[in-house]
């Protein structure tokens, strides 16, 4: 069994299922070419075990596919939609990064696109 993501004509993930490759190839869920295998429990090219810690397992396609994610065939990677116009895609992780790093002080923050700053949530 493996995870598979159904990709629309515009490369958007519309469905994620667990199935055997033979089931995908059979056409039971539509054209097999519209399905791309995805690696479960992967974020930024790192696979995480049941305890939430990196477990060293092999990964591919940078991130686990989720509905509304983009599949980029040239990068052979899944990544989430761009959260803000000012954020850029990290080519190594295929995750979006803010122009200013979020403070690392155990507080919660929201990004303010107008001021390009992190605002503490009180």
Round the CA-based radius of gyration of the chain to a whole number and report it: 17
Same domain, 91 and 51: no
**pLDDT tens, residue by residue, 36-69:** 999 989 999 999 999 999 999 999 999 999 999 9
For 104, the domain range is 82-122
- What is the reported pTM? 0.90
**pLDDT tens, residue by residue, 79-107:** 999 999 999 999 999 999 999 999 999 99
Q: What is the rounded CA–CA span in Å between residue 53 and residue 58?
A: 14
Same domain, 31 and 70: yes
Same domain, 74 and 105: no
Same domain, 20 and 68: yes
pLDDT at site 59: 92
Same domain, 92 and 109: yes
pLDDT at site 101: 97
Domain count, the chain: 2
Residue 111 pLDDT grade (very low, low, confident, very high; cuts 50, 70, 90): very high
Same domain, 63 and 120: no
């Amino acid at each position: 069994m493996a995870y598979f993501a159904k990709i629309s004509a515009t490369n958007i993930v519309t469905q994620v299922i667990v199935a055997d490759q033979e089931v995908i190839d059979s056409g039971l869920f539509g054209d097999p070419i519209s399905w791309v295998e995805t690696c479960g429990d992967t974020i930024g090219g790192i696979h995480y075990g049941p305890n939430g810690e990196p477990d060293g397992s092999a990964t591919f396609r940078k991130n686990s596919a989720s509905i509304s994610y983009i599949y980029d065939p040239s990068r052979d990677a899944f990544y989430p939609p761009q959260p803000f116009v000012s954020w850029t895609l990290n080519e190594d992780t295929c995750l979006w990064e803010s122009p200013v790093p979020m403070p690392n002080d155990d507080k919660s923050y929201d990004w303010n696109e107008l001021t390009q700053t992190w605002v503490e949530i009180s």
